[in-house]
Amino acid sequence: MTIHKEGYKTICLIFSLSAFIILAVNYFLPQQIIIHYLLYIALGVFNGFIIRFFRFPNKKRTQDENAIICGADGKVVAIEEVEENEFIKGPCIQISVFMSPNNVHINWYPVDGDITYYKYHPGKFLVAWHPKSSTLNERTSVGIRTKTNKTILVRQIAGAVARRIVCYANEGHKAKQGQQLGFIKFGSRVDHFIPLDAKIKVKLNEAVWGGQTVLASF
């Protein structure tokens, strides 16, 4: 396991701030008392959490051209038929995966294909499991067309705590199943909009793994 590149600046900032706090406390209160030890423990736990949040686990990713692979680690919070009017422009199945701060926050391409659509939407910061977060929150939308002419939309959604979405997709480029689509910082959600005739392979509230779990098959 390594640290994801998106975490370098944040980790350095948190470490520097922690060091400043420790130096300041020891300057004004040089005698070591219980407050010092509680502070050291609290900062140690917090820094450990930050490092863990940006972890980049080494795992074997699923490769299957007939499958739609999950784009994020987390829990399935919605499986429903919806009308998607941004890219697919018609009825489809929406599978939403909520990522808690405890999950790996790297996002992955669910299929191979051409990236034919990309758009960033500014918006609100509702809790990521809110039903309207898919259309009201800050988000990015990535549309992919497979070689069999299937259309998939992947939407990265910011949450109440998440304030930055990183997306590596570029319109006109290729999407490669299992490669990194982007990263969302501190609690978020990924929506997958897939064809109506896809066979769903997951259930509501099921734990899923980005780049590994098969959400559906064509």
Is 185:168 a contact under the CB 8 Å cutoff?
no
Q: What share of the chain is helix, strand, coil (3-state, %, to 5)?
A: 20, 40, 40
What distance in Å separates the CA atoms of residue 158 and residue 189, rounded to the nearest whole number? Answer: 7
| 188 in catalytic set | yes
Catalytic residue among 18, 96, 188, 217: 188
The DSSP secondary-structure symbol of 50 reads: H
What distance in Å separates the CA atoms of residue 48 and residue 31, rounded to the nearest whole number? Answer: 26
What distance in Å separates the CA atoms of residue 91 and residue 82, rounded to the nearest whole number? Answer: 6
Question: Under 8 Å CB-to-CB from 39, ≥6 apart: which residues?
Answer: 21, 22, 25
The DSSP secondary-structure symbol of 198 reads: S
**Computed over its alpha carbons, how large is the radius of gyration of the chain?**
20
Q: Burial, 32: exposed, middle or buried (Cβ in 10 Å; 0-12, 13-18, 19+)?
A: exposed
Catalytic residues, by residue number, are: 188
